[in-house]
C-alpha cells in the first residue's frame, strides 16, 4: 500500500517572505490570549499557536474587507471550501469532494457535532492519551462515556498499540466513535499508512466512526509523511476529517474550519445534525483562509523548514545541557512534550516551570494518562525566542532559580 505523494504547489507568490522575529511589544498590544502583560517576564509557550503569523497576504485581504466595510451577510463559504480542497490536493495528495465538505466555526465544533451525529447518549468515545485536553470535556458536556486507548512510551518515543485497540473494540460494544488526533498533539507522533489501514479495518469491523483531527497536518517533517485518513482504502465509509488553517496561519481568532467526508451516506448522517448547531465561519475567517490556502505555499514551506530546524535545535541543546529532561524528537506539530519527572515538578509541571524560570507551559496532567510529570512547550516561535526558552529550561537544574534570575533579550 503506497503513501500519497503531494504534488508541487502552483507557486502562488505571497506578498512577503517569512520573518524569523517576534515583536513582543506588538504581540502584547494585540490583546491575544497567548501574549499578555506578563511578557517578557514570563515567556508564553502554553498555547498551540505559533508566533510568526499571520501570513501577510491574509492580513492584507482582511484589511481590504475591513476598509470596504464588508461586515454584512456573505457568500464566501463555498470559495473557502474550494480553497481548502485545492490546498489539500497540492500539499497532501488528497482531493476532497467539495460537495462532501461542511463548514463550521472551529475544529472543536466539528468534533462535537460528530459526537452528536455518530453516537448515542449511552455510547462511548475512544481517546488516545496523552491527548489534547479539551477532548476530555466530551464526557461532561454530552454525557458520552470515554474510553482511553493510551499511547505507549519506550526509548524511541510514543507509539500506538494497535493490538490494544483491537482488544478495546472487541470487549466494549458501546464504543461508537474513535477520536483520532492525527498528527498527535502533544507527542507529535505520525501514523503511517499501514497503521491507518488497520485502524480503519477495526473501525469497520466494529461499526465505529473515526473522527480524524488533522489540524496539525501541515507541520509534518521530513522523517515522516502525513497520510490523510480519507486517502486510505476502506476508510471513507467510516471516517470524518475535521481540520482548519488556524494552526498553519496562526488565525485561531477568525473562526473557520471544515468537516470533510468521503462517503455520501456518512455525510448525510452528519447533515442530520441541525444546521445551526454546525455553526458557520464568519466573513473575515473565510477571507483569511482563502488567502492562506490559495497563496501561502511558499510562506508555509519556509515556516515548516524553520520549525524543522527548531525541533532539532531544541532536542540537541537539551541533550547536551539538560540530559535529565526527557524529550523525543516530534515527527510533526510545533509542540514538544517535556518529561520533567526528574525534577519533581508536582502535579502542575507547566506552572512549576513558570514559577521557577518564567517559562509558561501547559500542564501535562491535563492531557490524561501519560501526562504525569510532563509539560507541553510550543517551539513555534523565532529562533532567538527559542534559545531564550531553552536557556530558561536549562536553568531549572539550578536550585533557587526564579524568573527574576534569568536574563534574556528577545525583543
Give the CATH number for residue 336: 3.90.1150.10
Q: What angle do CA 130, 251, 289 make, to 5 degrees?
A: 115
200 and 107 housed in the same domain: yes
Q: Which long-range contacts (CB under 8 A, 24 or more apart) does 134-137 make?
A: 134/108, 135/111, 135/179, 135/181, 136/368
17 lies in some domain: no
Model pLDDT, residue 16? 66
Model pLDDT, residue 72? 87
Q: Out of 37-46, 82-91, 192-201, which region has the weakest mean confidence (pLDDT)?
A: 37-46
pLDDT at 407 over 70: no
Q: How far apart are CA 129 and CA 323, in angstroms?
A: 25
42 lies in some domain: yes
pLDDT at 225 over 90: yes
Q: How far apart are CA 339 and CA 130, in angstroms?
A: 12
Alpha helices in 157-296 (DSSP H): 162-171, 193-205, 246-249, 264-270, 275-278, 283-295
Point out the domain boundary residue: 267, 295, 323: 295
Model pLDDT, residue 369? 96
pLDDT at 274 over 80: yes
Model pLDDT, residue 63? 94
pTM (predicted TM-score): 0.92
pLDDT at 392 over 80: yes
Q: Which whole number is the average pLDDT over 119-137?
A: 97
Do 18 and 296 meet the contact criterion of CB atoms below 8 Å apart? no
Radius of gyration of the chain (CA): 21
- Domains identified in the chain, total number: 2
171 and 313 housed in the same domain: no
Model pLDDT, residue 30? 87
Cis peptide before 15 (omega within 30 of 0): no
97 and 127 housed in the same domain: yes
Point out the domain boundary residue: 260, 295, 330: 295
51 lies in some domain: yes
291 and 324 housed in the same domain: no
Between 405 and 33, the more confident residue is 33
pLDDT band for 402, please (50, 70, 90 cuts): very low
Do 55 and 249 meet the contact criterion of CB atoms below 8 Å apart? yes
Task: Give the structural domain span for 350.
Answer: 24-56+297-405
Name the E strands within 224-334: 239-244, 257-261
264 and 315 housed in the same domain: no
Average pLDDT, the chain: 91
Q: How far apart are CA 95 and CA 98, in angstroms?
A: 9
Q: Chain centroid to CA 193: how far?
A: 19
CATH of the domain at 230: 3.40.640.10
Amino acid at each position: 500500500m503506497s503513501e500519497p505523494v503531494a504534488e508541487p504547489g502552483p507557486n502562488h507568490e505571497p506578498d512577503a517572505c517569512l520573518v524569523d522575529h517576534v515583536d513582543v511589544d506588538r504581540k502584547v498590544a494585540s490583546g491575544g490570549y497567548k501574549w499578555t502583560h506578563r511578557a517578557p517576564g514570563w515567556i508564553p509557550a502554553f498555547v498551540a499557536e505559533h508566533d510568526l503569523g499571520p501570513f501577510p497576504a491574509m492580513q492584507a485581504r482582511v484589511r481590504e474587507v475591513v476598509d470596504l466595510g464588508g461586515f454584512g451577510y456573505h457568500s464566501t463559504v463555498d470559495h473557502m471550501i474550494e480553497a481548502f480542497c485545492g490546498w489539500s490536493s497540492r500539499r497532501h495528495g488528497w482531493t476532497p469532494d467539495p460537495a462532501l465538505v461542511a463548514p463550521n466555526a472551529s475544529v472543536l465544533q466539528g468534533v462535537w457535532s460528530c459526537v452528536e451525529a455518530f453516537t448515542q447518549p449511552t455510547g462511548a468515545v475512544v481517546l488516545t492519551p496523552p491527548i489534547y485536553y479539551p477532548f476530555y470535556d466530551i464526557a461532561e458536556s454530552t454525557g458520552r462515556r470515554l474510553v482511553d486507548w493510551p499511547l505507549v512510551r519506550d526509548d524511541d518515543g510514543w507509539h500506538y498499540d494497535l493490538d490494544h485497540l483491537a482488544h478495546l473494540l472487541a470487549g466494549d460494544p458501546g464504543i461508537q466513535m474513535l477520536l483520532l488526533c492525527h498528527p498527535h498533539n502533544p507527542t507529535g507522533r505520525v501514523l503511517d499508512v499501514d497503521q491507518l489501514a488497520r485502524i480503519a479495518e477495526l473501525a469497520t469491523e466494529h461499526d465505529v466512526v473515526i473522527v480524524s483531527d488533522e489540524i496539525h497536518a501541515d507541520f509534518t517533517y521530513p522523517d515522516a509523511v502525513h497520510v490523510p485518513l480519507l486517502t486510505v482504502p476502506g476508510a471513507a465509509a467510516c471516517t470524518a476529517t475535521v481540520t482548519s488553517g488556524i494552526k498553519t496561519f496562526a488565525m485561531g481568532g477568525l473562526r473557520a474550519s471544515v468537516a470533510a467526508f468521503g462517503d455520501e451516506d456518512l455525510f448525510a448522517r452528519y447533515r442530520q445534525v441541525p444546521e445551526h448547531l454546525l455553526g458557520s465561519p464568519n466573513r473575515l475567517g473565510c477571507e483569511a483562509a482563502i488567502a492562506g490556502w490559495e497563496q501561502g505555499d511558499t510562506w508555509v514551506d519556509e515556516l515548516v523548514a524553520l520549525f524543522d530546524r527548531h525541533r532539532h535545535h531544541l532536542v540537541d541543546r537539551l541533550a547536551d545541557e539538560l540530559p535529565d529532561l526527557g524529550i523525543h524528537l516530534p515527527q510533526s506539530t510545533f509542540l514538544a512534550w517535556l518529561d520533567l519527572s526528574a525534577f519533581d515538578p508536582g502535579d502542575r509541571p507547566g506552572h512549576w516551570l513558570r514559577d521557577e524560570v518564567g517559562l509558561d507551559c501547559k500542564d501535562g496532567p491535563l492531557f490524561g494518562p501519560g501526562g504525569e510529570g510532563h509539560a507541553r512547550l510550543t517551539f513555534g516561535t523565532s529562533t532567538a525566542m527559542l534559545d531564550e526558552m531553552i536557556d530558561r529550561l536549562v536553568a531549572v537544574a539550578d536550585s533557587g532559580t526564579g524568573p527574576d534570575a534569568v536574563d534574556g533579550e528577545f525583543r
